Copies of this chain bind each other. A is one copy, B any other.
Amino acid sequence: MTENVLEPLDAIFSPRSIAVVGATRTAGTVPHDIFQNILEGGFQGTVYPVSPGAKSIRGVKAYKYVLDVPDPFDLAVMVFPSSVCHLAMEQCGQRGIRAAIVISAGFREVGEAGRQREQQLKGIADKYGIRIIGPNCLGGINTDPKVRLNASFARKMPDEGSIAFVSQSGALCTAVLDYARGKHIGFSKFVSFGNKCDLSEVDLIYYLGDDPATNVILVYLEELTDARGLMQAARTVIQKTGKPILALKSGRTAAGASAAASHTGSLAGPDEFCDAIFQQAGIQRCRTIEDMFHRATALAYQPRPQTNRVAIITNAGGPGVMATDAAIDYGLEMAQFSQQTRDSFKRKLPTTANTQNPVDIIGDARSDRYQAALSSILADPDVAGAMVILTPQSMTDIREIAEEVVRTARAMPEKPLYTSFMGETDVAEGIDVLQRHHIPHYILPESMAAAMAASYRFERQSRLVRRPLPLQNDVDTATARGLLEQALEQGRQHLPEVEAGPILQAYGLPMLAGQVARSPEEAVAAAAALGCPVALKIYSRDVVHKVDSGGVALGVADPAAAADIYRALIQAVQAARPEARILGVHVQKMAPPGQEVILGLKRDPVFGPMIMFGLGGTLVEVFRDVAFRAAPLDQDDLTTMIRQVKSFPLLNGARGRPPCDIPALEAAIQRLAQLAVDCPQINELDMNPVIVQSEGQGLSIADARILL
């Protein structure tokens, strides 16, 4: 009906007219307050209350039905009880709108009946092409003076600013808005999407990427439903626009890791996957709301440090040391001042000042001394960013120092400048000056250093060019798929090493040579043929953990010994797992010397195929020192996942060892990732151990299993 229909997300954030569907006259209730907030928040368009029972609400003429609204409108904000929302949605559809914010609760979050209501509502919306934010959400806010929309039940409209906040939780939003207001943090857009029955953080990230008012995007998530979509959206936005995306994901410990049959399974919780996806997406994961705003204000207000070399100015030695400790901990380095800077210190600072970095301008420093030190430091070519610490001593002219910091930051805008005025009451006025003028401020010097380090990391990451990884072309997908399909047809769930080997081989992943023996004599012959030392390992489709069942003998030095060992293994496994059907014993070459690593794959319903890498058995298990990445991988994923594990130096020639064949390892991980993408039949896969030999010598897989 509207002649010029807005795109759905434009209709949500910048509607020209709104119907508040289900508004009431009872102040202090959501259906009333939402209408009031839109009206009194200064909305620049027209708002129509739709209310079956009221003639007017807050003086504005109300309409009984959606169909009664006299003019076209862009957005429906729905506050009806959940049981009748579908009726209103039907009418909205007839009115031709493209977007609705469903504030009402009582849907999926309350159980099965609610879930059905939500499906019904979504079905009607889909029928008419209406996109939904919600249900069960706080609503949305747009601070743009040309719009000024507070379609939410937040008490107050936030200040205008360049940070966008996107939240799954509505209740958290109220705390965030209050926290931010006290610190003069402004927002461009603010939205809670609740049950995300339709539009989700993925759509919002794309939208905010294109939004000229938004420079930093914050996301609070409770459940990740479309991990790959999120990754793609974040990558696209960061790459195209350079806007940082910060996310807080709660529910970290509610792992509920189901009893997993593979190593990869037991080491992989949803939280590790989430870390991997965020890393690959370029999303900065924050641990608390405070951490998130500490980083966000730094990124939104200031340029990013171009190197990790920073300077600290303080009027108190102790806090200077604390900040330095933290800076080093977080990966920053202390800049070395130039001769010019040192000369300038000599002229301008008292002789008792400590002119090393951190620069201690002494307890009686006033604003002139702060200004002198700060401008010298910011002009120093080795300094990529400055951090200013103040403690409220008797001589300290706190407000003047704050104003001087603001002036200096304005005068030298190319380098970041953060502050920590320590205390609460005495420093409050100074902090207020800083925050009003968008100088990032932190009560703790440690938090200031953490934020500077995060800004630097984002700067470094944003320079990264992701090199696509050319596919390994010598893989035989048809063979691998054929073997897997055949196993599936047989109703198999587990492929032991003997059967996993050919599939891996098809992807150029080399298992150590071996033969299946079905008698002691065959074991002796196999050992002789392969050449001792060999390993003997039980071959049974029913035994997933061979070692635990007594089914493995390593380092058999003499072919003749293989007969007795064959018998002993069979006996041990029969005792431990009487129900297991034993198909023989796998006689296999012992691995050449090298570093043991584990490679794994786990396919997750939310995260998709995830690749795991870690070092040797005990290291993996005790330290959980493993890295995950979502397949397919690019070169950066490969490089960083191998180097991210703490034990990487063991691969790289620690303590005079020969460095391992890292290119071969990278190629193997890449082949595994291709296998993961090409063969969705594989649910989990372990290659453990894989022996990485020294440079140029390649690697060998000593054991493997596949779970279908």
Give the interface of A toward B (CB within 8 A).
28, 30, 33, 110, 153, 155, 167-172, 174-183, 220, 222, 250-254, 287-290, 315-319, 321-322, 324-325, 328-329, 352, 363, 391-395, 422-428, 443-444, 446, 547-548, 618-619, 621-623, 625, 646-647, 649-650, 654-656
Contacts and interface: CB of A to CB of B under 8 A. Distances in A.
A308 to B, nearest CB: 14
Contacts of A153: 393-394
Number of copies: 2
Given A423-B175, A423-B179, A392 B155 contact: yes
Contacts of A425: 178, 181-182
B222 A655 contact: no
Contacts of A446: 287-288
A567 B315 CA distance: 65
A172 B390 CA distance: 10
A321 B222 contact: yes
Candidate in A287, A393, A395 with the most chain B CB atoms within 10 angstroms: A393
Given A169-B316, A174-B391, A222-B321, A424 B251 contact: no
Given A181-B425, A182-B424, A250-B325, 6 more contacts: A155-B426, A171-B315, A174-B391, A176-B423, A250-B321, A252-B325
B392 A317 contact: no
Contacts of A623: 623, 625, 646-647
A310 to B, nearest CB: 14
A708 to B, nearest CB: 25
A171 B647 CA distance: 42
Contact of A443 (B290, B318, B649): B290
A317 B287 contact: no
A337 to B, nearest CB: 18
Contacts of A316: 169, 171-172, 174-175
Given A316-B172, A318-B171, A618-B650, A325 B253 contact: yes
Given A318-B171, A319-B172, A446-B288, A178 B427 contact: yes
A26 to B, nearest CB: 12
Enumerate the 9 nearest inter-chain pairs by beta-carbon distance, A residue then B residue, closest first.
A182-B424, A171-B316, A178-B423, A169-B318, A175-B422, A175-B391, A172-B318, A253-B328, A250-B321
A705 to B, nearest CB: 16
Contacts of A183: 424
A178 B325 contact: no
A352 B352 CA distance: 65
8 contacts: A168-B318, A171-B318, A174-B316, A179-B423, A183-B424, A548-B656, A622-B654, A623-B647
Nearest to A34: B394
A319 B171 contact: yes
Contacts of A155: 392, 394, 426
Contact of A250 (B175, B318, B443, B618): B318
B178 A444 contact: no
A207 B252 CA distance: 45
Contacts of A328: 253
B619 A619 contact: yes
A587 to B, nearest CB: 23
A422 B324 CA distance: 30
Contacts of A110: 352
Contacts of A394: 28, 30, 33, 153, 155, 174
A151 to B, nearest CB: 14
A444 B289 contact: yes
Given A363-B171, A622-B646, A654-B618, A444 B318 contact: no
A318 B220 contact: yes
Nearest to A167: B318
A596 B177 CA distance: 55
Contacts of A428: 182
Nearest to A422: B175
Nearest to A354: B109
A365 to B, nearest CB: 10
Q: Determine which residue in A175, A181, A322 has the highest number of CB atoms from chain B within 10 A of its CB, and name it.
A: A175
Contact of A424 (B170, B179, B324): B179
Contact of A178 (B167, B168, B172, B392): B392
A250 B618 CA distance: 35
Contacts of A427: 175, 178
Contacts of A393: 153, 171, 174
Contacts of A177: 423
Nearest to A362: B171
A395 B319 contact: no
Nearest to A427: B178
A179 B251 CA distance: 32
A170 B174 CA distance: 39
Contact of A325 (B174, B251, B650, B655): B251
Among A174, A252, A393, A426, the most chain B Cβ lie within 10 Å of the Cβ of: A174
Contacts of A395: 28
A547 to B, nearest CB: 8
A299 to B, nearest CB: 20
A406 to B, nearest CB: 21
Nearest to A619: B619
Contacts of A443: 179, 290
